[in-house]
Amino acid sequence: SSVAQNKDEL
Amino acid sequence: MNIFRLFGDLSHLAAIAILLLKIWKTRSCAGVSGKTQLLFAVCFITRYIDLFLHFVSLYNTEKVMKLIYISASVFTCYLIFFKFKATYDGNHDSMRAEFLIVPAAGLACLINTKFDAIEILWTFSIYLEAVAILPQLFLISKTGEAETITSHYLFAQGSYRALYILNWIYRYHYESHVDTIAIVAGVVQTILYCDFFYLYITKVVKGQKIVLPA
């Protein structure tokens, strides 16, 4: 499954 | 990382610390909306759910910050609803949190980047955070005043997302990075603080207390 686009902000 | 995001995160940490100190030192959560703190805890848990799913070693400050946010917000809720429950102003903390949670959840299912569980949880957390301060502002309007320390908490809390807007402008310009959902929600969130910012800058900075026309 496509992992959620990595969020680089908190 | 840029200066705006750094100071945004520091301002956010400061807000959480100020509130914890206020409740712990005065042993009272008078003037503090428990609902807002619950909503913030929900925001952090749904946004950082990846910490629980595939736990990776604490290999960078980001993971540590996420754990600090989650544990501090849960601890704050514990202080409000358990330890200092007697001082919780439940009568004035009367905004219906469901009116914020349900629309945020519905909107997250309609407007999101990708229709998958983690992404929708993240989007829900972004939308919820935008309105999570409303019960707190509502409580202040009901009581007609805010303790100075609570005003400082609100100023730090509001500044954090305002600084994030500068961060997004910076990232758009230098990294052509755009996250429309976060930006729109962040702008809405910051706009909700405008009248408070005005009161804070015109009163609290001069040493006066914020008293609203009841």
Cross-chain residue pair A3–B118, CB shorter than 8 Å: yes
List of chain A residues whose C-beta atoms are within 8 Å of the C-beta of residue B50: 4
* Residue B5 phi, psi (nearest 5): -70, -35
* Residue B82 lies inside a defined structural domain of this protein: yes
B49, B118, B166: best mutation site toward chain A, by most A Cβ within 10 Å?
A: B118
**A residues 1-10 near B, CB within 8 Å?**
1-5, 7-10
What is the Cα–Cα distance from A6 to B152, expressed in whole angstroms?
33
R_g over Cα of chain B: 17
Q: Which residues pair with B145 in a beta bridge?
A: B211
Check whether A6 has a pLDDT greater than 70. no
CB spacing of A4 vs B62 below 8 angstroms: no
Select from B182, B136, B158, B186 the least CA-distant residue to B14.
B158
Contact B65, B9 (CB under 8 A): yes
**Residue B45, domain member (yes or no):** yes
Tokens 């946004």, residue located: B47
Q: Are B192 and B133 in contact (CB under 8 A)?
A: yes
**B16 contact partners, CB below 8 Å, separation of at least 6:** B68, B69, B72, B73, B76
Q: Is B131 within the bounds of a domain?
A: yes
Please answer whether residues B72 and B16 qualify as being in contact, where contact means their C-beta atoms are separated by less than 8 angstroms: yes
Q: What does the DSSP assignment read for B74-124?
A: HHHHHIIIIITGGG--TTT--S-THHHHHHHHHHHHHS-SS-SHHHHHHHH
Residue B55 is predicted with a pLDDT of 67
Q: What per-residue confidence (pLDDT) applies to A1?
A: 33
Asked if residue B214 belongs to a domain, the reply is no
The helix/strand/coil state of B29 is coil
Q: pLDDT value at position B104?
A: 98
Number of domains in chain B: 1
Taking only the tens of pLDDT, chain B with its 214 residues reads 999 999 999 999 999 999 999 999 999 999 999 999 999 999 999 999 988 887 666 678 888 999 999 999 999 999 999 999 999 999 999 999 999 999 999 999 999 999 999 999 999 999 999 999 999 999 999 999 999 999 999 999 999 999 999 999 999 999 999 999 999 999 999 999 999 999 999 998 999 999 987 4
Residues of B with CB under 8 A from a CB of A: 5, 9, 12, 47, 50, 62, 65-66, 69, 113-114, 116, 118-119, 122, 164, 167, 179, 182
Domain membership of residue B159 (yes or no) is yes
Using alpha carbons, select from B92, B73, B101 the residue that is nearest to residue B32.
B92
* Cβ distance of A9 and B5 shorter than 8 Å: yes
Q: Are residues B118 and A4, on separate chains, in Cβ contact within 8 Å?
A: yes
| Residue A4 reports pLDDT greater than 60 | no
CA distance B155 to B145: 15
Contact A9 B12 (CB under 8 A): no
Which residues form the domain of B192?
3-209
Residue B54 belongs to a domain: yes
pLDDT at A2: 37
Say what the pLDDT of residue B50 is: 87
User: B211 has which bridge partners?
Assistant: B145
For testing contact with chain A, the best of B10, B50, B68, B165 (most A CBs within 10 A) = B50
Q: Does residue B63 belong to any structural domain of this protein? A: yes
> Does a structural domain hold residue B201?
yes
